[in-house]
Structure 1
Amino acid sequence: MAGSECALVRHFVSKAPAAVYYIPEFITPQEETYLLNQVYGVPQTKWTQLSNRRLQNWGGLPHPKGMVLEDLPQWLKTYADQIAKLEVFEGKVPNHVLVNEYEAGQGIMPHVDGPLYFPVVSTISLGSHTLLDFYAPMPIEDAVHVSQAASTSFEDRFMCSILLQPRSLVLVCEDMYKVYLHGIVERKADTVTHDVANLEKCQGLTMGDCLDRARRVSLTIRHVPKTVKAKLLFGTKR
């Protein structure tokens, strides 16, 4: 791990709680185009439509009893292998990817990713920017009624934002993964303020800039530690 810490130290976001790493231009414009072509080249049946976005699931469905492991397609495995070389997954290779598509104005409620995953999440952004917002954890009594508390408690617990530019990679680790909530507010434009903790690592931006959102595709690349073979989970035919 020492070697990876040395490699990542210049990408550490010091103005955010531990630990967030932000790597701008992690992929090239040509790679971005290639990945978007792959995303939109899959059969429509691969998409799952949700109320605020749609997604593709690759690698299997995480489950407390174990994920039935499926091979990642090569266009995703290439980047899972690249991220594994950063050693943030402690020698493990990511085996699960969620492809999320957000139209301008769409987002996701503050949440934690939970214990089914190794406690690191890596995300490559394609097409458009967004602001990933972080919030202090909610008291248990509020968390039980999360839908009722959303309009007030989350806003009161806002900590900072990370600006995710196209082609960037963000790594969310340690307590920022395990404890703090993260989400994307549903709006069509973002204003650059002092709340953007990684602003010094973002090129071509100044305080007060207004950034219009467009369609964004995110590759959320993670490692699911507990996996099983299909025949062990479902049994074999006799």
Structure 2
Amino acid sequence: MHIEQKTNKVKKAEKKQRRSLAIIKADCNVSQSDSPTLYLAILNVGLSNGLSEEALLTAAAATGGQVSQVLMLPSKSYCFLMCTTLADAQLVYDGMHNRATIGQKGAVAYLSYVLELPQQREENGWQKPLPGGLVLLPDFVSEAEEAALLEAIAVGTASPTDSLKHRQVKHFGYEFLYGSNNVNPLQPLEQGIPAACNFMWERLELPAFEPPDQLTVNEYEAGQGIPPHVDTHSAFKDPILSLSLQSDVVMDFRRGDQLVHVLLPRRSLLVMSGESRYDWTHGIRPKHIDVVATPSGSLTTQARSKRTSLTFRRLRRGPCDCQYPTLCDTQQTATPQERYASHTLATSCRVPELF
């Protein structure tokens, strides 16, 4: 009886494989391989029926195999993996095929080796160079300094009006007005940036650096994020500094169809200047688990925990004269004559990027 049940299970899996492979062949012109390859198709689970990249990588990691690329196609009930080595692919296949319960309502996943990935393969945002002017400084503050900073900013004392839908927020120096994405330079707050932050400016050693006069503190619970945005050009100067405390997180930078993932380690400082400050949006996806790249280039998952970010800015007293008009509020609202005059001034007084 046991042998008969096992045989039926294998036959069912083979039937599912044949049917799903025919669909994938018609959709993507991807063919099955009779022998192991680096490429695996998950035949019956994808974005359209609720599979997340994080859940897929968690299941793959449980087999002991390493994955270097995940390809999930919009509105499809299948997806693909590229493994680091042939041995990794075999581990993932043997450990997941007809075993991993990652389908809807705990349904098992069916896998197959394939000869290639689809031509519409998504770009890997982990393999891209950082946007120009973006610098990440790991371990910028020590654990003791982290504790002192958290005590100095005391987010827990924020008033109810300082609570946004996706996070707790507190301002120092000037209030950032989320309705207009701006500040009122004529209305400084009573509480300036805490003196506990001052040690960081000497540590930065930036040329012609003006210490910030505005600080926004955001406290994120695991799973919370912030939509893609660019800090208003006319409101703040260059650079913008972001210090991550208590937890790592992945931040996405986008410009047009370009996407770059940046892992912000706990206690790191991110410096956004030049192109990265003015011409790219940045945001954090709302999720509990991040997909991150390992030193070897493979992908894995990393759980988030409560995170506090300190964003330091310097107010701009006047219109923006940057070289990046696409996201510039000053240049988008200016007349053609004003834009020409601003461009002429900017190019004649060009200041090099900080990095």
- Structure 1 length normalisation: TM-score? 0.68
C-alpha separation in 2, matches of 1:129 and 1:215 = 9
1:159 equivalent in structure 2? 259
Query: Taking structure 1 as reference, are residues 64 and 219 closer, same or farther at Cα in structure 2, changes over 3 Å only?
Result: closer
2:95 equivalent in structure 1? none
Is 1:19 aligned with 2:133?
yes
C-alpha separation in 2, matches of 1:38 and 1:94 = 17
Query: Taking structure 1 as reference, are residues 35 and 107 closer, same or farther at Cα in structure 2, changes over 3 Å only?
Result: same
Q: Which has the higher strand share?
A: 1
Offset at residue 64 of structure 1 (A): 6.4
C-alpha contact (below 8 Å) 2:174/2:185 kept by paired residues: no
- Following TM superposition, where does structure 1 have runs of at least 4 consecutive aligned residues deviating by more than 4 angstroms? 62-65
Offset at residue 206 of structure 1 (A): 6.3
Is 1:210 aligned with 2:310?
no
Residue aligned with 1:34, SS: helix
Q: Deviations over 1:139-194 (max 9, x none)?
A: xxxxxxxxxxxxxxxxxx3511111001101111111111111100000011213x
Q: Comparing both chains, which one has the higher relative contact order based on Cα–Cα distances under 8 Å and sequence gaps of 6 or more?
A: 1
Percent identity between matched residues is: 26
> 1:85-96 residue pairs with structure 2 within 5 A?
85-87=205-207, 90-96=208-214
C-alpha separation in 2, matches of 1:158 and 1:24 = 24
Offset at residue 54 of structure 1 (A): 1.3
Match of 1:112 among 216, 226, 230: 230
Is 1:32 aligned with 2:150?
no
C-alpha separation in 2, matches of 1:42 and 1:215 = 13
Offset at residue 41 of structure 1 (A): 6.8
Amino acid at match of 1:91: F
Match of 1:68 among 175, 182, 187: 187
Residue aligned with 2:162, SS: strand
C-alpha contact (below 8 Å) 1:65/1:226 kept by paired residues: no
C-alpha contact (below 8 Å) 1:192/1:206 kept by paired residues: no
Query: Taking structure 1 as reference, are residues 38 and 110 closer, same or farther at Cα in structure 2, changes over 3 Å only?
Result: same
C-alpha separation in 2, matches of 1:169 and 1:103 = 20
Query: Taking structure 1 as reference, are residues 68 and 78 closer, same or farther at Cα in structure 2, changes over 3 Å only?
Result: farther
Unaligned residue ranges in structure 2 (runs of 5+): 1-127, 177-181, 319-355
Is 1:176 aligned with 2:276?
yes
C-alpha separation in 2, matches of 1:134 and 1:190 = 15
Q: Deviations over 1:11-44 (max 9, x none)?
A: xxx8112021111000001111111222337634
Residue aligned with 1:192, SS: strand
Query: Taking structure 1 as reference, are residues 65 and 23 closer, same or farther at Cα in structure 2, changes over 3 Å only?
Result: closer
C-alpha separation in 2, matches of 1:55 and 1:159 = 27
Query: Taking structure 1 as reference, are residues 95 and 65 closer, same or farther at Cα in structure 2, changes over 3 Å only?
Result: closer
Offset at residue 61 of structure 1 (A): 2.8
Is 1:82 aligned with 2:202?
yes
1:136 equivalent in structure 2? 255
Offset at residue 75 of structure 1 (A): 1.9
Which one has the largest radius of gyration? 2
1:150 equivalent in structure 2? none
Is 1:222 aligned with 2:313?
yes
